[in-house]
Structure 1
Amino acid sequence: MTESPARVLPRPADTVEPFRTADRVHFDELDPMGILHNARYQIHVERAVSAFYRLHGLDTPPGELGGSDRFHAVRRFEIDFELPFREEGPLRVELWLDHLGRTSMRYGFACLGSADEVHATGARTVVRIDPVDFRPREWSTGWREAHLNGLRIERSF
């Protein structure tokens, strides 16, 4: 079986750039075939989200999460594997904003190799919840602004 050519993400010129970060893939993350294990992609995406929070002052110290927008739960994590990542080294993650509702939001993401080849794409949906009754709670203005101003917005048609 031959591999299909690597897909490269288009770069819209007239929009805010996606958030980009790189994380190192280590030997112990590779499966017996030398491919990044499927479960590890979510960890690298979570690290990218945390880096976005730190950059925009949205990180909250442990023990203080109850009143913050970081008191949210992952509702859905979807991923499409497009090309095996077969090495140790940097894996770039790009994040963008797919949807920002009153109480939920969806990040789009792509995991890229060193030549901008797309290894995986997907979405991560979270819901902000109230720390007392665990019901959905609206995002704060600061949280909304950080995401609307700090992430490229992709629209699905």
Structure 2
Amino acid sequence: MTAEAPIAPALSYGRLIPVTVHFDDLDALGLLHNARYPLMVERAWTELCNEYGIRFDGDWEAAGDACNAVKELRIGYEAPVTRPGAYAVHLWLERLGSTGLTYGFRFCSTDGAVTYAHGTRVLVRLDAATLRPVPWSEGFRAAGRELLRPAD
């Protein structure tokens, strides 16, 4: 981890979702606790899904595409977050498969210019009754295509 966060280019893909770091998210050294980064990313992902009408209200049978599980989480830390306040999570899709997806994220400044952490998370859509992988709905896939990162 370096003391200075790298400057990121302007957003050309994905979405920047505002998040708030509270005082109690900081550890004893006054840094955002490492376990809070994935929590902030999850909150941003949930907010984005809500914008697309994908919600989980406690009913797994009715959850549809919201019935999914994390298969993998990778995160790298670039620079410490040293105070509470307004930040953002930049979200995009790296891969959209038939039953799974990989989304990328950056925990960053509100304008997306400064990156504090980055990573990927793999999700698998599940059948509520069997907990076996099932395909994403066409509506979800259409929304997901809007978030795909362009090939380098």
TM value normalised by structure 2: 0.90
Structure 1 equivalent of residue 91 of structure 2: 95
1:57 aligns with 2:57: no
Structure 2 equivalent of residue 40 of structure 1: 36
State the alpha-carbon separation in 2 of the partners of residues 47 and 118 from structure 1. 18
* Pairing of 1:103-122 with structure 2 (within 5 A): 103-114=99-110, 116-122=113-119
One-letter identity of the residue aligned with 1:37: H
State the alpha-carbon separation in 1 of the partners of residues 31 and 11 from structure 2. 30
* Pairing of 1:67-78 with structure 2 (within 5 A): 67=62, 68-78=64-74
Structure 1 equivalent of residue 141 of structure 2: 144
How many residue pairs get matched? 150
Structure 2 equivalent of residue 80 of structure 1: 76
TM value normalised by structure 1: 0.87
Contact kept, 8 Å, 2:70 with 2:122, in 1: the verdict is yes
Quote the sequence identity (%). Answer: 34
Q: Over the residues paired in the alignment, what is the CA RMSD in angstroms?
A: 1.9
Structure 1 residue 131, shift from structure 2 partner? 1.5
State the alpha-carbon separation in 2 of the partners of residues 95 and 70 from structure 1. 17
Q: SS of 2:5's equivalent? A: coil
State the alpha-carbon separation in 1 of the partners of residues 11 and 44 from structure 2. 21
**CA-to-partner distance for each residue in 1:40-74, whole Å, 9 max, x for gaps?**
001100011011111111124321x3240111100
Mark the runs of 5 or more structure 2 residues left unpaired by the alignment: none
State the alpha-carbon separation in 2 of the partners of residues 101 and 133 from structure 1. 20
Contact kept, 8 Å, 1:107 with 1:123, in 2: the verdict is yes
